[in-house]
Amino acid sequence: MSTHSLRDPQVRSVLDELHAAARGDRFKFLGLVPRLAWGFLRGKGFFDVITPHSMRNVYIAVPPDEGQFLYLMTRSIAARNVVEFGTSFGISTIYLAAAVRDNGGGSVIGSELEVNKHTVAVENLNRAGLGAIAEVRLGDAMETLQKTPEPIDLVFLDGWKDLYLPVIELLQPRLRKGAVVLADNIHTFKKDLRPYVEYMQSGENGFDSTTLSVSDGVEFSIFAG
C-alpha cells in the first residue's frame, strides 16, 4: 500500500483546523478596507498600503483543492528538495512537506518575513509531525534563500508579489533540469505579476510556462535548462 500523508490523522487534523481558521480571513480583509481606500485616495499602490505587518494575523492560505494540487505535483515529479517563498502560517508548507515525506524524504525550505507567522508556522509543522522535513527561515527571502539544498526540484511562490521575479532569478541557477515552479495569485494580481509572467512565458529565460485556472491562477513553469 502506498504512503499518503494527507490521510495521516495527525496531518489531517492540523490541516482541517487551519483551513477552518483561514475561512475567517474574509472578515479580516473587511477591516483593511478603510486603510486601502485611504491609501488609494492618496495615490498609493496596494503594496504601499498593505504591508507584511498589517497582514500578520491574516492566513492568505491556499484552499484545500490547491493544497491537494501542490501535494500531487510534488509527488508526480518525485521532488526531494522544495523551496517555498511566503510560508505564512504553514498550510501550503504542510502539503509540500507531506509530499516530500511520501517521496522518501528530503527538505522543504520556507521563508517568512513576519515574526508571529514564522513562530506559528513552525509550531503547526511540528504538530503535523513534519518538522523534520520542513525548515521555515525568518527574514527577507532574498537573504534567507541564498543557500538551499541542491538541486531544487520544485519552487512554490506565494509571498509578496513584487518579489516573485527577483526570487526566481535568485533560485534559477540551482534548479535542476525539469524542475517545476508554481506561482500563486496570477489572476488576482495580474498587473503586479505581469513582469513575472512575461519572464516565464517569453521562451528566452529557460522556462516553458502557462497559466492554470487553479484557485485564483497558478503559473505553472518547467525549467528547460
The count of other CB atoms within 10 Å of the CB of residue 126 is: 14
What pLDDT shows up at residue 61? 80
| H-type alpha helices, the chain | 9-22, 25-41, 46-49, 64-76, 91-102, 115-127, 141-144, 164-171, 194-201
**Ranges of residues in the chain whose predicted pLDDT is under 50:** 1, 27
What pLDDT shows up at residue 1? 44
CATH code, domain carrying 207: 3.40.50.150
The answer to whether position 40 is within a domain reads no
The answer to whether position 81 is within a domain reads yes
What pLDDT shows up at residue 225? 81
- Cell numbers 492566513 correspond to 59
The count of C-alpha atoms lying within 13 angstroms of the C-alpha of 212, restricted to the half-sphere facing its C-beta, is 14
The answer to whether position 182 is within a domain reads yes
In angstroms, the CA 96 to CA 4 distance is 12
The answer to whether position 44 is within a domain reads no
pTM for this entry: 0.89
Residue 107 has which C-alpha cell? 527538505
- Cell numbers 492618496 correspond to 42
In angstroms, the CA 11 to CA 126 distance is 10
**Number of domains within the chain:** 1
How buried is 16 (Cβ within 10 angstroms: 0-12 exposed, 13-18 middle, 19+ buried)?
exposed
C-alpha to C-alpha distances, 223 to 14, 21, 170, 180, 182, nearest whole angstrom: 33, 35, 14, 6, 11
Contact 151, 174 (CB under 8 A): yes
Collapsed DSSP state (helix, strand, coil) of residue 209: strand
The answer to whether position 117 is within a domain reads yes
Residue 12 structural domain: 5-16+59-223
The answer to whether position 123 is within a domain reads yes
The answer to whether position 35 is within a domain reads no
pLDDT tens digits, residue range 3-27?
799 999 999 999 999 999 988 766 4
* Contacts of 175 by beta carbon, 8 Å cutoff, 6+ apart: 151, 152, 155, 181, 223
The three-point CA angle 84-160-45 to 5° equals 170
The answer to whether position 150 is within a domain reads yes
